[in-house]
Chain A
């Protein structure tokens, strides 16, 4: 039984109809399969899906990003990598099943794979804590990221979490510290790191692992500091105004690419990633291949500086400053033209000379 979102009711009706047509013996009065009608209905579905999915509003995108049938981290890990060896535990307290971590091969190359896993059915969802990591989860990934760094192995993280787990135990064991140390670790690695947001990028729980060289999003995924429901409740004081909140929040992949917070969007099949799993696998595989190649010739120092520079530049664009000129620069470099103008007019001689030149030019034009 497929799950449908509320704006997909037309699709649901058509697909139910097709199922009936394909199974004529259960129907009264029909004795053979009406292939013509099936293909007509299929065309109708494709057309409708295209229509709906090319005009999704940000709240509908949020629902697609959280879709129960959407491929989860485990699906990508199982199908994109060879010899995946799952590794457990933080060596302090315990294991966290909300995050899968292990070494594997991707096209014969060694990689570390991290995946926030929400689970596919009720049982696994509870087992995975709905993809909400606890401190031991972050401490496990820190431990293994450092190990990957030691052996110069690139890191690929699949991000899919509503947020870090807000429980008593998590607070007691230092959830805040675990996230902070995870970001600190991410920003010290000299191996290339890639984060692919496959569903929900939930706030601190996501950025703890998405402080990477490349942040990539599937077309219908979201990435945000709070959920639209939370934002609506707090700022609109009305939990039902999720559409208003989602619109204002600019949480879609398209918005985030425009804000230069992410680097790439992986296109999804029409109707969402779950409608064509082979196609989404192919697209994700292509992206990983391309990105791994891009960093192949870079030294460890260059990789680290690339990552630092990327984050230091965020938010400084658009009339603020074009680019930080040097690597490792924390403070903002002034716009070159501004600096030139400032220095130029600082000396009074320059100012007088330029006024003189302007007057002279004026006279010349006047007399000629």
Chain B
């Protein structure tokens, strides 16, 4: 629910500022079409960022990437298989605020190319079969509703059926308000799935990317066996603004980042740059599952062969 709290900054006060500076700053559409993106206070070439998986070569800021881009970067374009899930009724509340929820959904589907905010797949990390889910923050703030919950359930079921590890990459504002209580129920439903996964003796890994807050942080994300944070990512339960309202003093620097969660609150095992996450997960999996990577297996075989040869001689 906290992605939404950010939007408070767009309330009256924010609007006035926006009006004041509207002429100086380009619109969203202009930004999307521009060759440049603003980073470390400078226009930065998008193409060079893309080559570097949207990590700024100058300041190491990790710009957002979609689940599809992450899968392509990790596995290669054709080396992952999407897991599709059933679609529950999407708008039982017939919700309408300043905009109809079905229109918001339509827009989100169009811009992200996804059926819901979560994209799940079967793939291999370091030659080890895994099932993965990743959240698309551009899909209504990566908020979780019924379709997203159902997607997680389907993916976890797949992991249990295949007897393989499950990895969840989060970027979510929490539970979606437009399906209110039915969204909230997904916290419990996803937890049931993870409980079943663990009961089957399978590994559950989480990668926290920016931003991960609210009910998503307070359910599936906090239940990992091992939790990796992506450098600089926001990781919180309550939004910074809300916490600041409860606190007379300035909030600590780095407050609610994965670095802070690792060093201060002990909620994250390790923080890694984007490029290091895949190889590290591979190492973790091969150690925990006691499986050697492809190259090492071949080496072992040859040494064994040598042994038998020497023994024979």
Contact = CB atoms under 8 A, between A and B. Distances in A.
Given A166-B243, A171-B236, A231-B177, A316 B188 contact: no
A170 B236 CA distance: 10
B147 to A, nearest CB: 9
B266 A234 contact: no
Given A168-B243, A180-B219, A225 B177 contact: yes
B182 interface: yes
Nearest to A321: B86
Interface in B180-222: 180-185, 187-189, 191-196, 214-215, 217-222
Interface size class of B (residues with CB under 8 A): 35 or more
A179 B251 CA distance: 23
Contacts of B10: 237
Interface stretch (B35-43, B69-77, B93-101, B302-310): B93-101
Contacts of A174: 222, 265-267
Contact of A188 (B195, B217, B222, B266): B195
B86 A320 contact: yes
A207 interface: yes
Interface string A309-337: 00110111011100000001011100000
B174 to A, nearest CB: 8
Report the 5 A-B pairs with minimum CB-CB distance, sorted nearest first: A166-B238, A180-B222, A235-B97, A176-B217, A179-B218
A239 B12 CA distance: 10
B238 A250 contact: no
B278 interface: no
Contacts of A226: 1, 4, 177, 180
B176 to A, nearest CB: 8
Interface of B: 1, 4-5, 7-8, 10-12, 86, 88-89, 92-93, 95-98, 146, 149-150, 153-154, 156-157, 160, 175, 177-178, 180-185, 187-189, 191-196, 214-215, 217-223, 236-239, 242-243, 246-247, 251-252, 255-256, 264-267
B4 A234 contact: yes
B229 to A, nearest CB: 13
A236 B246 contact: no
Given A164-B237, A225-B180, A311 B188 contact: yes
Contact of B220 (A167, A180, A249, A315): A180
A177 B222 contact: yes
Given A203-B1, A331-B153, A187 B195 contact: yes
Given A203-B184, A235-B98, A248-B96, A166 B8 contact: no
A220 interface: no
Interface string A194-221: 0000000001100110010000000000
Given A180-B223, A187-B191, A248 B218 contact: no
8 contacts: A166-B243, A168-B247, A175-B218, A188-B195, A315-B150, A318-B92, A330-B160, A331-B153
Given A180-B221, A314-B185, A166 B242 contact: yes
A319 B146 CA distance: 14
B221 A224 contact: no
Contacts of B221: 176, 180
Given A167-B243, A183-B191, A318-B89, A259 B98 contact: no
A312 B196 CA distance: 12
Contacts of B256: 171
A181 B181 contact: no
A17 interface: no
A225 B2 CA distance: 11
B95 A171 contact: no
Interface in A141-164: 164
Nearest to B238: A166
B156 to A, nearest CB: 6
Contacts of A330: 153-154, 156-157, 160, 192-193, 196
Given A225-B215, A308-B192, A314-B185, A171 B8 contact: no
